[in-house]
Each structure stands twice: as C-alpha cells, then as structure tokens.
Structure 1
Amino acid sequence: MSFDKKHNSGDHASTSQPEERGVMFGANESEEGSGFCSVVLTGFSYILVVVFFPISLFVCIKVVQEYERAVIFRLGRLLSGGAKGPGIFFVLPCIEDYTKVDLRTVTFDIPPQEVLTRDSVTVSVDAVVYYRIYNPTVSVANVANAAHSTQLLAQTTLRNVLGTKNLGEILSDRDQISESMQTALDDATDRWGIKVERVEIKDVRLPIQLQRAMAAEAEASREARAKVIAAEGEQKASRALKEAADIMVESPAALQLRYLQTLNSISAEKNSTIIFPLPMELMKSFMK
C-alpha cells in the first residue's frame, strides 16, 4: 500500500476540497476528529463482540481474495491504514461497513458512436477500453461509481477525439487515435484511482452511399493507373522497335535472318498454312 499512499499525497495539491478530504483519510494513519460519541459506540461494539463470542466471529471476520481489497468505513469515516487485504480482516458490528474493490483489469465495449468528422462525414465508431483500479480507497471515496463514470467518460472522449480528425485519418491512423484517447482517459481518471491501460478502436462503419462513392473513386483511380502503365509500355516498345529498325537498316542481312527466325517459329507450331513475308526491298527493282 506504499504506492497508494504516495499517490494520494501527490493528489492532495491538485484536487478540490472534498476530494482532498477523501484522499487524506485514505493516507493518514491517525483518526482525527473522533468525538466522545464515536468512542462510546466503538467501546460498545467491542463489548458486543466479547459478549457474543464465538458467535460474533461469524459476523466480524471477513475474507477478501488476492485480487480484492476492502475499504472500511467506521461511523461514516474512512478507517486509518488504507484498504485491507488480501486475506482475513476484522469488522466491528453495527459501526463499521466495508466495500470490496476488484483490482483486476476490466474491459468494456464503447457502444457505436455517431461522429461527425472534421470534413463533415458521419461515421459510426466503436472501441474497447482496458482499465484497472490501482488505488481502492480513492476509487471508493472520490467517485460514486468508478466503472460507470469511466464508461461515460470513454464515450465522450471517443466523440471528442474523432471530431477533430478527417475520414482518411480515422481509417489510417487508428493507433495514434487510440494512444491519444488512452492518454486523455488516463489523465482524467487518475484522481479516481483508475489506470487506463489500453484503448483500441474496433470498427469504423461508413454510410452505404459513401462506401459506393469510395469504391467508384478507387476503381476510377485503378483504371487511370492502368492506362498510364499501358501508355508507358507502348512508348518503351516503340523505342525498342526504332532501335531494332536502325540496326536492320545498317545490316540488311539481319532482316533476312529475322525472316528465317519467323519461318522457324511458324513451322514449329505444325500449321498447314505458312505465310511467307516478302521484303519490300525485293519489289523495288520491279517497280522501277
């Protein structure tokens, strides 16, 4: 419990007066302000325990698990020494009441939130939050319902964070959005004794019309890229053909060899008809 005490002392200067009082009760080792009535009732409770012993043991002895802590109130005031547990602890009848606090990591789903992005697009986003209670005394004394308060704050934080992002940023920068949400939630719930460990965006749902528009845009973009690639291929092919033609002009025998290669390729396919290309240079003498 030494960590909890240090944290409570640090929050003493940054919280309001009601919160300071709750934190100080969780950290102080002395019971200040105990009046005469409190002393009398406490002594009467001890007498009841002794008179009805050993039956009173069934009422006074309580047990909490390893992952639980018990925050004890005596006559409405936090008992000194902080939270009790794990194991066996003693509760005086009639004047003491206790609250069990689970220290395990808890998860909850944020319901789908209709969010208007910065570029005026309506999307539905849901997420999941992982948190745990690290200071049982503060979580009981400073907030009425720590779990419910954290859930409501997570919904509001999700809407506020996504409202400052464009649609493209929401779809591509989920890790950054999750980290910013986790930081904002952790800062807000620190005075409640709650540590937000992780926030993950589960799904982003777009309107059907917007999905169709994005699909048409992506298809048009792919077609445009395909046409550009085909044009670049034609350009490179024409340059290669030009270079080949220049080489054949310098060496007429290369053209004849190319004809023979073509005939060899046609004959290998076992065609019944062979088309023999006639060079135009052979017809020049007849044309003259």
Structure 2
Amino acid sequence: MVHYGCAKTDSGGIECFVEFKESTSARLSVNRRKIGAMARFIELLATIGSFILMLVTLPFSLCFTFKVVQEYERAVVFRMGRLKGGAYGPGTFFVMPCVDNCVLVDMRTVSFDVPPQEILTKDSVTVSVDAVVYYRIKEPLNAVVKIANYSHSTRLLASSTLRTVLGTRSLAEILSERETISHTMQSSLDEATDPWGVKVERVEIKDVRLPVQLQRAMAAEAEAAREARAKVIAAEGEMRASRALKEASDVISESPAALQLRYLQTLNSISAEKNSTIIFPLPVDLLAPFLSLGQHQFRQPLPHTS
C-alpha cells in the first residue's frame, strides 16, 4: 500500500514523502502461496518416493497399485488429502501406494426402514407410523466430500421429515391419502439431500397403528353406520314390495279367474312339500250373503204374546 504526504521541516521548508506499507491481506496471500508451493513440493517428493517404492517392490506392488471398480461402483481418489480429478470407474485404474487413498461408493438403490414414529396428528390423535425409503447416489464426489456419513444422515432426515409431514395431517387424511403423503415426503427429502449427491427415489408408508381404544371406537362407529344403512335398505325394499303387491292386487281384482288360478297355484306349491295338513282359505266374499241374512233376522222385532 502506498501513502503520500508532506511535512514542514525545521528550516521552514516543505518535505514530501512516499511510504510503502504492506497490507494484511497481501501478507496473507503471500503466506498462502508459500504454503501452497511447499505442499506441492512435498506432494511431488512423496509421489516420486512412492513411484520408486513401487519399482523396487515389483511385481508385488501391482496388487496395490491397480484397483478394480465394479459396474455399480465409483471410486473417489485422494492424493495427500487432495481430491484427484473426478470419480473413477467402472473398470481398472492406477493409484500410487502410500500416497493415494481410494473411497468406493455404491451407486445401486438402497432401501431402509424408518423406525416407528409416535406422531400427534392435527386432530390430536396419537398414531405410530413407519415407512420405507429408497435412495441412490447420483453424485459420488458430493457424497464423499460434502457429507461425513450420507446413509446415517439420510436416515435421520427421513425420520424427522416423517414426523413433520404427518403432524400437519388429520387421522382421516393419513389413512386415506397415503400416496399423497408419500409424494410430499419424497419431494422434501430429495430437496434436502440434493447437495449431498443423494437422490431419494421413493417413499412408502408401511403401517399406521392406532390405539386399541380408538380401534374399538372406530369399529363401533362403522358397525352403527352399517346397521343404519341396512335398516334404510330394508325399509326401501318393503316399500317397493308393498307397491308391487298393490299393483298385483289391482290386476287380480279386474279378473276373478286370476284369483282362482292364484289359489290353485298356492295349493299346488303346498302339496309339493308333502304336508299332512293343508289349510284351505275361505274367501270372505262367500260369507257375505250369510252375514247379511243374519243381520236382517236379528233386526226383526220379536212377536208379542198375550
């Protein structure tokens, strides 16, 4: 940093000066460059020593210098603590012994069970819910560099997300809208784990366990609802049957022969069951003349005797 200034001298004159000062940021940058150059020099020496050691111990060193990565794996290599390029694999690649550190990352889909969570729903009902989460690694570098243990972190995040999402739903919504809740959880988890290089593919609600008292209350409610529907259906059936009987009686009343045929058909159905007793219904119309005659005789005055 450069400073300009002027000052009076003892003789009365004016003296100008230019002062050069080194700022703190400049000193820090210089120190960083020195440390970086020293680190690169040490890394170069270590690499050369590792290469010489590999040449001396041939062919045994080939067992440690060549790495094989499967189709479903990726390798992240660190040289003296620094990340070396991108992810390696699948296939074979070369590493320096004692200098390079190789970390394998499985790219296949992994599933785990979320432990049962005691959740208080929106309508103040305590339920126990467990789920299954399916995820995979899409960025091996982020999964190794940006998170210490991506598997454990994803499990903890899934448990907290399950409690958060279900805490905003009522019991009826939890029981009837499982697919919607699963999609909501999957979106929340995928957004949170994206910086870690983890892709949450699917979330499924396995089981929702209710308290025993609540199960009994819901069973009694469902049974009462079914009984009410059964009574309504029976009443509707009786109403339709009475209407059909009324229409049938109107048709039979128009033809006396129809009533006789119906009477004979009833006798035929009774005799087919081999009953020892047969009841013959007597139409009231046959008794009407006798009833009217009896009433006429009862109304005549008795003869007077002297």
Instruction: Please state which band the TM-score falls in when normalised by the shorter chain.
Output: 0.7 to 0.9
Q: Of residues 146, 156, 162 in structure 2, which corresponds to 1:158? A: 162
> Are 2:226 and 1:211 equivalent residues in the alignment?
no
CA distance in 2 between partners of 1:54 and 1:249 (Å): 115
Match of 1:249 among 215, 232, 253: 253
For residues 85 and 184 of structure 1, what CA distance do their matches in structure 2 show?
31
2:83 corresponds to: 78
Q: 1:52 is matched by which residue type in structure 2?
A: T
In the TM superposition, residue 121 of structure 1 has moved relative to its aligned partner by 1.1
| 1:45-93 superposed Cα distances (whole Å, 9 cap, x missing partner) | 333333433333333222222222111111211102x111222222223
Q: Pick from 55, 59, 73 the counterpart of residue 50 of structure 1.
A: 55
Q: Which has the higher contact order (CA 8 A, sep 6+)?
A: 1
Residue 33 (structure 1) shift = 10
Q: In the TM superposition, what is the alpha-carbon distance from 1:133 to its structure 2 partner?
A: 0.9
* Segment drifting more, 165-174 vs 70-79: 165-174
Q: In the aligned structure 1, how far is the partner of 2:160 from the partner of 2:224?
A: 38
Q: Distance in 2 between matches of 1:256 and 1:56?
A: 113
Tell me the CA shift for residue 116 of structure 1. 1.2
TM-score by length of 2: 0.78
Which region of structure 1 is more displaced relative to structure 2, 182-191 or 208-217?
182-191
Partner of 1:265 in structure 2?
269
TM-score of the superposed pair, with normalisation by structure 1: 0.83
Moved more, 213-222 or 260-269: 260-269
How much identity, in percent, do the aligned residues show?
68
Unaligned stretches of 5+ in structure 1? 1-30
- Give, in whole Å, the separation in 2 of the partners of 1:248 and 1:284: 20
1:118 shift after superposition: 1.3
Moved over 6 A (4+): 31-34
Q: Aligned to 1:69, what secondary structure does the other structure show?
A: strand
Letter in 2 for 1:167: L
Q: How many residues align?
A: 257
Partner Cα distance (2:194, 2:117) in 1: 25
Offset of residue 34 of structure 1: 6.4
Shift of 1:32: 11
In structure 1, the partner of 2:175 is: 171
* Pairing 1:279–2:269 present: no
Larger Rg: 2
Cα 1:33/1:260, change in 2 over 3 Å: farther
**AA paired with 2:179?**
D
Instruction: Report the AA paired with residue 134 of structure 2.
Output: Y
Q: Secondary structure at the match of 1:35?
A: helix
Mapped partners of 1:85, 1:246: distance in 2:
91
Q: Secondary structure at the match of 2:134?
A: strand
1:193 aligns with 2:201: no
Mapping 1:13-28, distance limit 5 Å: none
Q: Work out the CA distance in 2 between the residues paired with 1:249 and 1:53.
A: 117
Secondary structure (helix, strand or coil) at the match of 2:203 reads strand
Give the counterpart of 1:224 among 228, 236, 242. Answer: 228
- Equivalent residues in 2 for 1:6-17 (5 A)? none
The 1-side partners of 2:128 and 2:192 are apart by 24
Unaligned runs of 5+ in 2: 1-35, 293-306
Residue of structure 1 equivalent to 2:135: 131
With over 3 angstroms needed to count, the CA separation of the structure-2 counterparts of 1:248 and 1:32, relative to structure 1, is farther
